[in-house]
């Protein structure tokens, strides 16, 4: 029966949808606004991954780049203000790393349509997630624990 078939297809797609990044509690840094924004970045990566798997990567590329640019602008500002506020000692270096990512995003966003492809942008997003959020941002958590212990 066609209806049963389509229900099966939907069910299969829901149960076996391959989420690229599954959010785990250990990703939380303990700073609610930053954790919330990191989760937003993961959602964007997962949505874009889903679009690519369903052959919508090309048409989603521009809206996703524009969205990530705006989101990055806000997120880095929030993070830098927070680090200033809690006198994070490595603030200058962290701003340098953010500036490199800002620069890379401007470069990607400035490319012509012909020179962009979803796979390259996904590589950039994965690098941002793995090298920056999971590694460089992780130190805030340790720093906050250190401050807490001193109190």
Q: What are the residues binding Fe ion (CB under 5 A)?
A: 79, 137
Considering Cα of 37, then 38, then 44, then 47, what sign does the dihedral take? negative
Query: Nearer Cβ to Fe ion, position 76 or 121?
Result: 76
Identify which of residues 20 and 78 has a Cβ nearer to Fe ion in the complex: 78
Q: Which of 8, 36 has the CB closer to Fe ion?
A: 36
The residue nearest Fe ion at its CB is 137
Smallest distance from Fe ion to CB 38, Å: 6
Of 49 and 137, CB closest to Fe ion: 137
List own/partner pairs for 25-31 with CB under 8 A and 24 or more apart.
27/133, 27/134, 29/137, 29/138, 29/140, 29/141, 29/144, 30/141, 30/144, 31/82, 31/140, 31/144
CB 122 within 8 Å of CB 51: no
Closest contact distance (angstroms) between CB of 53 and Fe ion is 26
**Rounded least distance, CB 26 to Fe ion, Å:** 15
């Amino acid at each position: 029966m066609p209806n049963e078939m389509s229900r099966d297809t939907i069910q299969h797609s829901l149960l076996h949808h391959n989420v690229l990044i599954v959010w785990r509690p250990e990703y939380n840094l303990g700073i609610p606004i930053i954790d919330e924004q990191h989760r937003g970045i993961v959602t964007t990566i997962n949505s874009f991954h889903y679009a690519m798997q369903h052959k919508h990567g090309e048409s989603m590329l521009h809206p996703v780049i524009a969205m990530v640019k705006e989101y990055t602008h806000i997120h880095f500002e929030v993070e830098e203000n927070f680090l200033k506020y809690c006198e994070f000692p490595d603030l200058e270096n962290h701003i340098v790393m953010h500036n490199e990512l800002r620069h890379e995003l401007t470069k990607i966003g400035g490319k012509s349509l012909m020179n962009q492809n979803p796979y390259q942008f996904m590589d950039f997003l994965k690098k941002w997630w793995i090298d920056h959020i999971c590694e460089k941002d992780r130190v805030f958590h340790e720093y906050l624990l250190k401050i807490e212990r001193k109190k």
